[in-house]
Amino acid sequence: MTEPLPPLAELVEPAEPSARPSDHALGFALLSAALLGAAALFPLDRPPLSLFACPLKAATGWPCLFCGATHAFAHLVHGHPGDALAASPLGTLLALAALAHLAATCARLCGFSFTPPAVRFGLRLRLATLALLAANWVFVAARTRGVL
């Protein structure tokens, strides 16, 4: 008895550089604009941004994984990248990614054609991401506890 054949792969045409961003790219651009706009317009010490104070930190004194992200967004959009990195490297990276995605989507809406680079999220990249998340938390925790 012969073994069944593996499934057939589908041949695809190489992607043409496209001007029009996808619906999801537009959705994420709007989300980025909302987050960056809120960080630029609202003061950190008054609602609604002050409501993002971390309850875990308030209760235990230890930061959560995303502690400092609101400050990082606010410092970055106000042109203080050093303060943003000090608040949260992860938050700074997310803010930069949001800014880059917003700019790229606006450029594509204006007619510039390019294909976003495809990143293969393999095992090494996943492990590296997890290590960076852990390193970010250690850094923020060290700053919160006054070690750094």
Partner 1 sequence: MLARCPSCRQTFSTERSGQQDCPHCKRPLIVPGAPPQAELIMPSPEPAFGSPESETAPGTPWERRAELGLFTAWWQTVYQSLFEPGKLFTSARLDRGRAQLGFAVTTWSVFAALGQIIDRLLLSDQRDQATRWLNQLRQAGAHLPPFVDRLLAMGNNDNSIPATFGIALLSPLFAFLFVYLNAGVTHGSAMLIGQARRGFAATFAACAYGFAPFVLLAVPGCGGIVALVWCAALTGYGLKRMHRISPGAAAGAVLAPYVILCCAGCAVSLSVASFFGGMIPK
Binding site for partner 1 (CB under 8 A): 4-14, 22-24, 27-28, 30-31, 34, 47-48, 50-51, 53-56, 58-60, 64-66, 118, 120-123, 126, 129-130
As measured in angstroms, the least distance from the Cβ of 122 to partner 1 is: 8
Contacts for 68-71: CB closer than 8 Å, 24+ residues apart: 68/140, 69/94, 70/39, 70/44, 71/44
C-beta closer to partner 1: residue 15 or 79: 15
As measured in angstroms, the least distance from the Cβ of 47 to partner 1 is: 5
Task: Please state at what angle helix 89-109 crosses helix 123-144, rounded to 10 degrees.
Answer: 130
Structure tokens given for 38: 């809120």
Q: What is the DSSP letter of 108?
A: H
C-beta closer to partner 1: residue 24 or 147: 24
